[in-house]
């Protein structure tokens, strides 16, 4: 007697289906561009009916916005994991980790960043991505202030300057990828730490007289 085959579930959890639609849209936006991608393209790639798309998203613009939110959440999460590898009391190490992670992630993901944030620059007022990442940096600076690691009279201003400097400099690295990325990041770290009053680490072996 044959064992009856187990029927495959006809539906997937809503969150799984939504993520699959977003993954399909992301791949198409990267390969074809947003304007050239239709909702029909997205549902075909995700292997669902068009009605399923409209269960989760009202339009192509809305799924693009969802991709932008996911990108920012993933970006912040990866930076936070890098920062948390250092003790809470070592503000300089945490700031260096924040800078390095921002540069490395932005370089690695800039193609997706440019797709989901094509309509505004990271310096634009009210940019949710900038605000969220800058708040993460502000937390590091304010913790360092409270611990006496540095004395910043206006941490919010310093956070704005460091954020703009790091991301602006990274745009230059992306434009000229032949640069030594590690040397570039080290130079950015030195300049940003100087802004908060942390001197550059001495060279190995110190200076000779």
**Neighbour-count burial of 185, counting CB atoms closer than 10 A to its CB (0-12 exposed, 13-18 middle, 19+ buried):** buried
**Neighbour-count burial of 63, counting CB atoms closer than 10 A to its CB (0-12 exposed, 13-18 middle, 19+ buried):** buried
Q: What pLDDT sits at residue 207?
A: 41
User: Quick count: other Cβ atoms within 10 Å of Cβ 166?
Assistant: 22
pTM of the model: 0.84
Measured CA distances, 77 to 72, 91, 196 (Å): 8, 19, 24
Judged by average pLDDT, the poorest of 105-114, 127-136, 153-162 is 127-136
Average pLDDT score over the chain: 89
**How far, in Å, CA of 61 to CA of 119, rounded?**
11
180: domain range? 66-195
76 and 53 belong to one structural domain: no
87 and 152 belong to one structural domain: yes
26 and 98 belong to one structural domain: no
Does residue 77 have a pLDDT over 80? yes
Q: What pLDDT sits at residue 120?
A: 59
Give the pLDDT confidence of 4-37 residue by residue, as tens digits.
555 445 577 888 999 999 999 999 999 999 999 9
Handedness of CA 77, 65, 158, 148 (dihedral sign): negative
76 and 118 belong to one structural domain: yes
Q: Encoding tokens for residue 147?
A: 């611990």
**How far, in Å, CA of 204 to CA of 201, rounded?**
9
Q: Encoding tokens for residue 70?
A: 């996911």
In the chain, how many domains are there? 2
What average pLDDT score do residues 176-185 get? 90
- Maximum Cα–Cα distance across the chain: 91
189 and 147 belong to one structural domain: yes
**How far, in Å, CA of 95 to CA of 147, rounded?**
14
Please count the residues of the chain: 209
């Amino acid at each position: 007697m044959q064992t009856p085959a187990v029927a495959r579930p006809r539906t997937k959890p809503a969150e799984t289906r939504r993520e699959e639609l977003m993954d399909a849209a992301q791949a198409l936006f990267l390969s074809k561009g947003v304007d050239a991608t239709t909702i029909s393209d997205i549902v075909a790639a995700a292997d669902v009916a068009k009605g399923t798309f409209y269960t989760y998203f009202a339009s192509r613009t809305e799924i693009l916005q969802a991709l932008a939110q996911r990108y920012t959440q993933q970006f912040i999460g990866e930076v936070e994991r890098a920062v948390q590898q250092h003790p809470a009391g070592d503000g300089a190490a945490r700031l260096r980790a924040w800078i390095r992670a921002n540069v490395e992630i932005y370089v690695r993901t800039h193609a997706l960043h440019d797709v989901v944030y094509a309509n505004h620059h990271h310096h634009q007022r009210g940019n949710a991505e900038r605000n969220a990442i800058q708040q993460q940096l502000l937390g590091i600076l304010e913790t360092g202030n409270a611990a006496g690691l540095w004395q910043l009279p206006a941490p919010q201003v310093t956070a704005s300057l460091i954020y703009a400097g790091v991301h602006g400099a990274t745009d230059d690295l992306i434009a000229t990828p032949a640069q030594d990325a590690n040397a570039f990041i080290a130079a950015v770290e030195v300049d940003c730490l100087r802004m908060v009053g942390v001197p550059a680490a001495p060279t190995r072996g110190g200076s000779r007289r």
